[in-house]
Amino acid sequence: MPGPYNLYFSLDGRKAILILDSRLSGSAYSGPHQVYFYDRRSWRLLKALRIPWPGADHLDFSADGRFALLSTEYSGYVVKIDVVKMAIVDAMFVGGLPIDVRLAPDGRLFYVANQGLGGVSVIDPRAMRQVAFLATGRGAHGLAVSRDARRLYVTNRLAGTLSVVDFARRRVVATWQIGGSPDMIAVTPDGRQLWISNRYSGTVSVVNARSGRVIATIRTGGRPHGLAFFPEPGRLSLGHNGIYR
């Protein structure tokens, strides 16, 4: 299939969920059908789900895996999808350019990075309403949870910074200047380092997760986007950029 962008696996291990890059034109797969459900073992297509808002992008699952929250980058909506029924059950408008999505460690709220608004929307998935917005920096893009589950790391791609959100206080407690154009984040198994792709700089930054100090800059060339640090702790692979739960 042309244009695959993100790949996820349902928590029960039965489905693979492909997010299609809707920017493709002239493809048989372009258009409103942006989320494809497959049988994980046979790769038989189960359903092509129509998303009525362009830019289906990133998602994360509820604690029980029954639903997922999907961002739509080009239209400013977040979409609640029933993973069992493979159907949209709700949606809400947050504006801007919503990108990465993470479930809070307590399973009650979702955090959605918004590149257009320069911060993170905190979403109550039951009521489908925004309960808070945390300003982090220009181009808020990638999210990662610390190993102790106390902090959320947020890359601010246009500002060249990395913000730290305290989950308990629901506030930004630090913003570090790390340079480059930080995009996606991988946390090392011991939680001490963050490996961050620099989308427009052709590098990967290795950052101290406690102080924000840049330990190393690795030249890759090109436009590095997603990255994974393997192996990762966890029982289940959710796909995306090497996320386990």
Residues 39 and 82: their CA atoms lie apart, in Å, by 16
Mean pLDDT value across residues 62-77:
97
Closest listed residue to residue 31, CA positions, set 53, 63, 9 = 53
> Per-residue pLDDT tens for 97-144?
999 999 999 999 999 999 999 999 999 999 999 999 999 999 999 999
Distances (CA, A) of 200 to 72, 120, 158, 206, 218: 22, 22, 10, 16, 14
Domains of the chain (ranges, CATH numbers): 4-244 (2.130.10.10)
pLDDT of residue 84: 97
Beta partners for 121? 112, 133
Bond before 105 cis per omega within 30 degrees: no
Instruction: Tell me the whole-structure pTM to 2 decimals.
Output: 0.95
pLDDT of residue 27: 45
Q: Percentage of the chain with pLDDT > 70? A: 95
CA distance between the termini of the chain: 28
Mean pLDDT value across residues 198-220:
97
pLDDT of residue 4: 84
CA-CA-CA-CA torsion for 199, 205, 208, 213, nearest 10 degrees? Answer: -100
Q: Percentage of the chain with pLDDT > 90? A: 89
Q: Does residue 3 have a pLDDT over 90? A: no
Tokens of 122: 């905190």
Is the separation of the CB atoms in 71 and 52 below 8 Å? Answer: no
Q: Average model confidence (pLDDT) for the chain?
A: 94
Closest listed residue to residue 110, CA positions, set 184, 99, 118 = 99
- For the chain, give the longest Cα–Cα distance: 48
> Per-residue pLDDT tens for 20-46?
976 654 444 456 789 999 999 999 999
> Per-residue pLDDT tens for 138-191?
999 999 999 999 999 999 999 999 999 999 999 999 999 999 999 999 999 999
